[in-house]
């Protein structure tokens, strides 16, 4: 059973759901103001999900639901994605429902249903995620890592709290015993995370090119944080092609289905014709074959402190040790109880026991790792 206290953290979806209820009942905002004794500006903020004071929100939402004879359970009980960010992201990017409908081909009424937390087909969710340059996990509020949007952070309308990260710049990592920096695009939220964690022995760094890094700081010589507005760095093997490449995480989410769903009938509910065309172009541009795609989905690379590099296709379903390590460090921003030795299994069934003290960093595939972490969290 849901209570009034459960509504605040889901206020974007609650607002969208209330708007649909008002439309169904043909109840105007003016009638709602008079009946619930709530001012029009407050009504507007409640429906938009932009009222940031929890105390005020709970006081006014109780008046409105009482007037409408609705319980919190009636609002949230039949919602699939009660933490959906579809509406929040649309507002953040200053996009109208009409513009989103035109771009995706999804009817406005259907978009309203999705914004109110109702389940869309995977093809619909991926098309929306593509337009917003994000992932379906972020769109549905089911992400483990920070929610990110693959556009410049300065272009986002941060009138509310900065929960969603836009592109900030790059992180350059120089491992011990190496003169070669590794560069990755990051969000403003990741930059803040790095500063909070910089005195820890281990840091988890979500990047914007479908990569997540585990850094073992005693074996890291230097970290560079480079704002996108800065000039190119000198003597740091800067690669001008290291950008966010305007590739949404939704692309990487769809690669697995792209490989295995050859039949159009079985594909249409998961990958629209529009997205398939994007995937075709993306894969052709990169010159990938099926093996390359599989590698992009699963490849993990270990950078050892002695400058040795080893890559493998990790079987995350059989690598609980490394998954648990990442989960603990990222969730609690603390490595006090971290293990020095971790184990994992690759798709060749090779089992590896790894001493992290001999490692500078490990590079994981973002989407595959996040889905594995979600599975563990769902089981708890």
Tell me whether residue 23 is in a domain: yes
CB 207 within 8 A of CB 184: yes
CB 202 within 8 A of CB 338: yes
Domain total of the chain: 1
What mean pLDDT is reported for the chain?
90
Rounded Cα gap, residues 318 and 172, in angstroms: 31
How confident is the model over 337-364, as pLDDT tens digits? 788 999 999 999 999 999 999 999 999 9
Tell me whether residue 57 is in a domain: yes
- The pLDDT assigned to 60 comes to 94
- The pLDDT assigned to 378 comes to 67
Backbone angles phi, psi at 82, to 5 degrees: -70, -15
Tell me whether residue 337 is in a domain: no
Rounded Cα gap, residues 211 and 148, in angstroms: 13
Residues contacting 53, CB < 8 A, separation 6+: none
Tell me whether residue 29 is in a domain: yes
CB 229 within 8 A of CB 257: no
How confident is the model over 8-24, as pLDDT tens digits? 989 989 999 999 899 99
- The pLDDT assigned to 2 comes to 83
Tell me whether residue 252 is in a domain: no
Tell me whether residue 175 is in a domain: no
- The pLDDT assigned to 264 comes to 61
Pick from 178, 150, 182, 179: nearest CA to 166: 150
Tell me whether residue 16 is in a domain: yes
Rounded Cα gap, residues 146 and 162, in angstroms: 11
Cα→Cα distances 315→155, 253, 340, 350, Å: 38, 17, 21, 10
Using 50, 70 and 90 to split pLDDT, how confident is the model at 83?
confident
Residues contacting 9, CB < 8 A, separation 6+: 83
- The pLDDT assigned to 58 comes to 93
- Look up the domain containing 49 and give its range: 1-120
- Half-sphere exposure of residue 319: CA atoms within 13 angstroms, side-chain side: 30
Residue 163 has pLDDT above 80, yes or no: no
Rounded Cα gap, residues 372 and 377, in angstroms: 9
- The pLDDT assigned to 274 comes to 92
Cα→Cα distances 142→82, 195, 208, 291, 320, Å: 10, 25, 17, 29, 20
- The pLDDT assigned to 270 comes to 92
CB 376 within 8 A of CB 317: no
- The pLDDT assigned to 59 comes to 93
- The pLDDT assigned to 310 comes to 96
Rounded Cα gap, residues 54 and 9, in angstroms: 9
Residue 379 has pLDDT above 80, yes or no: no
- The pLDDT assigned to 263 comes to 61
Decide which of 15 and 161 is more confident: 15
Residue 261 has pLDDT above 80, yes or no: no
Decide which of 369 and 50 is more confident: 369
- The pLDDT assigned to 262 comes to 66
Query: What 3-state DSSP class applies to 132?
Result: coil
Cα→Cα distances 88→14, 47, 52, Å: 12, 12, 13
Residue 156 has pLDDT above 70, yes or no: no
Q: How deeply is 1 buried, as exposed, middle or buried, from its count of CB atoms within 10 A (0-12, 13-18, 19+)?
A: exposed
Using 50, 70 and 90 to split pLDDT, how confident is the model at 172?
very high
Residue 155 has pLDDT above 70, yes or no: no
List, edge to edge, every strand of the sheet that includes 299-304: 202-206, 211-216, 359-365, 299-304, 309-313
- The pLDDT assigned to 284 comes to 93
- The pLDDT assigned to 99 comes to 96
Taking residues 122-147, report their average pLDDT. 95
Percent of the chain whose predicted confidence (pLDDT) is above 90: 70
Pick from 315, 310, 280: nearest CA to 294: 315
Backbone angles phi, psi at 23, to 5 degrees: -65, -45
| Strand positions, DSSP E, 122-162 | 148-152
Tell me whether residue 62 is in a domain: yes
């Amino acid at each position: 059973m849901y209570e009034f206290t459960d509504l605040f953290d889901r206020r974007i979806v609650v607002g969208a759901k209330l708007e649909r209820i008002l439309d169904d009942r043909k109840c105007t905002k003016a009638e709602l103001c008079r009946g619930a004794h709530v001012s029009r500006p407050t009504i507007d903020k409640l429906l938009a999900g932009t009222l940031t004071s929890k105390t005020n929100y709970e006081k006014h939402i109780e008046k409105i639901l009482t007037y409408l004879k609705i319980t919190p359970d009636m609002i949230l009980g039949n919602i699939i994605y009660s933490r959906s960010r579809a509406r929040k992201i649309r507002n953040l990017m200053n996009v109208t429902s009409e513009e989103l409908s035109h771009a995706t081909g999804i009817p406005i009424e259907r978009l309203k249903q999705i914004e109110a937390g109702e389940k869309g087909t995977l093809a619909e969710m991926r098309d929306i995620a593509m337009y917003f340059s994000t992932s379906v996990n972020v769109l549905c509020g089911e992400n483990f890592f920070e929610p990110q949007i693959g556009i410049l952070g300065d272009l986002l309308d941060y009138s509310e709290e900065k929960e969603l990260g836009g592109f900030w710049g790059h992180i350059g990592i120089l491992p011990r015993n190496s003169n070669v920096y590794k560069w990755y695009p990051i969000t403003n939220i990741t930059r803040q995370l790095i500063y909070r964690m910089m005195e820890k022995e281990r840091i988890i760094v979500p990047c914007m090119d479908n990569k997540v890094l585990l850094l073992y700081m005693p074996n890291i010589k230097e970290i560079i944080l480079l704002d996108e507005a800065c000039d190119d760095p000198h003597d740091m093997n800067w690669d001008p092609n290291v950008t966010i490449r305007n590739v949404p995480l939704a692309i990487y989410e769809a690669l697995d289905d792209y490989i295995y769903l050859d039949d159009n009938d079985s594909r249409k509910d998961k990958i629209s014709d529009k997205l398939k065309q994007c995937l075709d172009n993306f894969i052709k541009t990169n010159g990938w074959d099926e093996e390359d795609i599989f590698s992009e989905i699963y490849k993990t690379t270990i950078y050892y402190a002695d400058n040795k590099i080893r890559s493998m296709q990790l079987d995350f379903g059989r690598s609980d040790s490394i998954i648990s390590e990442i989960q603990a460090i990222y969730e609690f921003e603390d490595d006090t109880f971290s293990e020095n030795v971790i184990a994992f299994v690759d798709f060749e069934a090779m089992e590896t026991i790894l001493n992290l003290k001999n490692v500078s960093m490990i590079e994981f595939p973002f989407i595959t790792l996040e889905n594995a972490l979600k599975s563990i969290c769902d089981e708890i």
